[in-house]
């Protein structure tokens, strides 16, 4: 029956208003799912942005640290010990803390994440942080131009004048350059500065650092180096944790996914969208079948099999899911763009999420179809005479 009349399609387009309602309902569900899953992933991605940017092979932190926003410090000596492990090229102590930043335009204050390290070494790629020369000067900092806009028009001011002065932690500082990292769920904005400036700002014990970055010689075996460090430094002392870069990223992501309600909340939101969509599609398909019951019974009396009628309902379900998905998909690309601009969170349509939500939509429609299809069995041709 290849050339058969496409009954499912013709029935769908015959009822224009119903079709539009159905598509709007499905589109709504699709958008809800995209937004929830998009936000969830954006938050997770943003939380590991710094981790991904750091150009180290092995990282060291305190076992008491749970996430970037809840770092515990550990002894700098442990990191220096790692310098002696074969294959290690360099180690970089990193200080991280939050401080109040004064918006240079309107003088309002906001908490910003500050990172301090020895500026003669680089910790992220040149693309992100092209020039750290300014950090050699006293009380100079670099400002993350992808920070949230509440910190003020720092990038614009800097490009205009070549420097910006403001206060951080009650201390006068000069922004002597810009870099790109981006806001995360935990930090709305970022500053980097030299270790010396950092210690001036925060009055901390220089022997206690928050994070250690270790770089290996090219071609050195990472696993071997980690194993050695664990055996010689981590295990005997118990006051540091040695992680590969992947483990370091996974550690942070795991915190946001499993130790906060974020994952659950957004999954729940997406789940609700899915169920709402399913109910809408079910309603539409059920009414459609009910309206056509006498016609379906007629088809059965003509010799059409039950299977044919079931396939009509499922075709309608599949067509609805595709037609509902497409406009919502493109709308979401725009929504993501707008959200990214408004929140500085990394929010993009990925092929993975697109496919996932499409499959969810398809499942949503087909499951409702499977429930609605039971009504078709009621079409008894013996009753229509």
Partner 1 sequence: MTAATDPIISIDHVSHYFGSGRLRKQVLYEVSARVDPGEVVILMGPSGSGKTTLLTLIGALRSTQEGSLRLLGEEMYKARKSQLVRLRRNIGYIFQAHNLLNALTARQNVQMSLDLHPNLTAKEKKTRSLEMLEAVGLLDWANYYPQELSGGQKQRVAIARALVSSPRVVLADEPTAALDKQSGRDVVEIMQRLARQRGSAVLLVTHDNRILDVADRILQMEDGRLSTVQREEVIA
Torsional class of 382: left (φ above 0), alpha (ψ -120 to 50), beta (otherwise): alpha
Report the nearest approach of partner 1 to the CB of residue 382 (Å).
4
17 touches partner 1 by CB under 8 A? no
345: tokens are 């969170």
Specify the residue, 185 or 296, whose C-beta has the smaller distance to partner 1: 296
Would you say 347 and 43 are in contact if contact means Cβ atoms under 8 Å apart? no
End-to-end CA distance of the chain: 27
Report the nearest approach of partner 1 to the CB of residue 12 (Å).
8
Contact with partner 1 (CB under 8 A) among 53, 367, 370, 384: 384
Contact with partner 1 (CB under 8 A) among 3, 219, 261, 351: 3
Specify the residue, 187 or 284, whose C-beta has the smaller distance to partner 1: 284
Interface map 264-303 toward partner 1 (x if CB under 8 A): ----------------------------x-xx-xxxxxxx
Nearest to 33 by CA among 363, 368, 320, 287: 363
Rg of the chain (C-alpha set): 29
Q: How many residues bind partner 1 (CB under 8 A)?
A: 25
Contact with partner 1 (CB under 8 A) among 11, 113, 132, 234: 11
4 touches partner 1 by CB under 8 A? yes
Specify the residue, 49 or 300, whose C-beta has the smaller distance to partner 1: 300
61: tokens are 């932190």
Report the nearest approach of partner 1 to the CB of residue 294 (Å).
6
Specify the residue, 187 or 285, whose C-beta has the smaller distance to partner 1: 285
Q: Which residues contact 16 (CB under 8 A, 6 or more apart)?
A: none
Listed ranges 10-18, 21-29, 47-55, 331-339: which one lies at the site for partner 1 (CB under 8 A): 10-18
User: Which parts of 311-340 interact with partner 1 (CB under 8 A)?
Assistant: none
Report the nearest approach of partner 1 to the CB of residue 50 (Å).
58
Report the nearest approach of partner 1 to the CB of residue 250 (Å).
54
> What are the residues binding partner 1 (CB under 8 A)?
1, 3-5, 7, 10-11, 14-15, 292, 294-295, 297-305, 381-382, 384-385
């Amino acid at each position: 029956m290849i050339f058969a009349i496409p009954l499912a399609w013709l029935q769908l387009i015959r009822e224009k208003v119903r079709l539009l309602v159905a598509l709007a309902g499905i589109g709504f569900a699709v958008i809800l799912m995209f937004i929830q899953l998009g936000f969830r992933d954006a938050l997770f991605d943003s939380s590991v942005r710094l981790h991904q940017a750091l150009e180290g092979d092995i990282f060291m932190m305190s076992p008491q640290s749970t996430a970037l926003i809840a770092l515990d410090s550990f002894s700098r000596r442990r990191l220096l010990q790692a310098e002696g492990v074969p294959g290690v090229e360099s180690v970089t102590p990193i200080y991280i803390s939050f401080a109040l930043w004064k918006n240079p335009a309107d003088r309002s204050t906001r908490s910003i994440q500050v990172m301090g390290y020895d500026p003669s070494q680089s910790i992220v790629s040149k693309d992100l942080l092209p020039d750290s020369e300014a950090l050699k000067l006293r009380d100079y900092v670099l400002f993350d131009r992808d920070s949230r806009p509440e910190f003020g028009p720092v990038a614009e001011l800097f490009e205009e004048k070549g420097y910006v002065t403001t206060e951080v932690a009650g201390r006068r500082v000069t922004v002597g350059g810009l870099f790109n990292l981006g806001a995360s769920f935990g930090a709305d904005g970022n500053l980097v500065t030299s270790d010396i400036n950092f210690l001036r700002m925060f009055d901390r014990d220089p022997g206690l650092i928050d994070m250690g970055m270790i770089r290996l010689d090219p071609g050195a075996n990472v696993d071997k180096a980690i194993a050695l460090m664990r055996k010689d430094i981590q295990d005997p002392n118990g006051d540091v944790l040695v992680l590969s870069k992947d483990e370091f990223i996974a550690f942070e992501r795991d915190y946001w996914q499993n130790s906060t309600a974020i994952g659950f909340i957004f999954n729940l939101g997406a789940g609700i969208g899915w169920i709402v969509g399913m109910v809408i599609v079910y309603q539409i398909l059920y009414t459609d079948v009910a309206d056509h019951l006498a016609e379906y019974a007629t088809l059965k009396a003509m010799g059409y099999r039950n299977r044919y009628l079931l396939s009509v309902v499922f075709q309608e379900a599949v067509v609805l899911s595709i037609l509902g998905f497409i406009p919502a998909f493109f709308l979401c690309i725009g929504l993501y763009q707008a959200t990214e601009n408004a929140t500085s969170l990394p929010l993009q349509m990925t092929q993975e999420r697109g496919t996932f939500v499409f499959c969810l939509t398809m499942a949503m429609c087909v499951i409702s179809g499977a429930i609605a299809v039971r009504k078709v069995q009621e079409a008894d041709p013996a009753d229509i005479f």
